[in-house]
Amino acid sequence: MARVAENEMRRWGIATACACVAVALVLVLFRAPVAPGGAATPPAIAPVLVRAAEGNDVAFDEQKTLADPTPLFLPTTWNAAPKGLPRPEPGARFENFGGRLRSGAGDGELKLSLPPPVSVPVTPADILLMEPPSSPLAGFGRAAVALPVLDSRRAFVEIIAEGTGRVVLRQGLADAKPPGDGVWEPMEFLVAVDAAGLVGGVAVKRRSGVEGVDNYFQGYLAQTLRVGQRLAPGFYRISVGP
């Protein structure tokens, strides 16, 4: 029983010591601030400068310059001052310079070797007189050539044999009347011909961009031009263009 009481007293003693340490730490946190050099120093008072009553006081001027609170990077009467530069009147900027051109080597006047002035032609005829043509006899002995009148056509057809590349037929189609008046591109067809005529009809390889024109020339080649009866047995590539 005495040992239990002794343990209780020991625990209470330890708890009391911890509480005292915690209170001491809290009091340390709330202490009054102290200056880094020890005791707090009073603020410095700017010195009062007094000029001597008579004469030039050099010491006063030097102390005033050293005690000037103006930052050094700002312009003052000691490091910057406006310089009065007279502005020339308009049009008189180069009056102080002479009008003669001189060479850099000596004192003689600069001599410029300029070509003689060139007269500018006024009319086209004057230009031809200044520079005559390189072939003055060009055109002599020539006569007008009568150009043949081309047959009117609405389309042109060219048939090439696939095996040999030989052109079998090339002619204009004056009686062709494709539908519409719009622009259409050249087209290509493939046909196979045997002894009895066309085999499988006319196949379109490249279209013209207008479906009605494609359908029209498919029927025109088979029914009007009759390629199945005009061509020998074989395979052919047919190009039709405007």
Take residue 139 and report the two structure tokens written for it.
């055109």
Burial 104-114 (b: 16+ CB within 10 A, else e): eeeeeeeeeee
Take residue 147 and report the two structure tokens written for it.
């150009």
Beta-strand runs (E) in the chain = 155-161, 167-173, 187-194, 197-198, 203-206, 234-241
Take residue 192 and report the two structure tokens written for it.
């196979």
What tens digit of pLDDT does each residue of 112-125 get? Answer: 788 888 888 888 77
Can you say how many angstroms the Cα of residue 37 is from the centroid of all Cα atoms in its chain? 66
Question: Quick one: what percent of the chain has pLDDT higher than 90?
Answer: 1
Record the pTM: 0.38
Question: Quick one: what percent of the chain has pLDDT higher than 70?
Answer: 72
| pLDDT computed for residue 102 by the predictor | 56
What tens digit of pLDDT does each residue of 186-215 get? Answer: 889 988 888 888 888 888 888 888 888 888
If you ran DSSP here, which 8-state letter would residue 157 be given? E
Amino acid at position 24, single letter = A
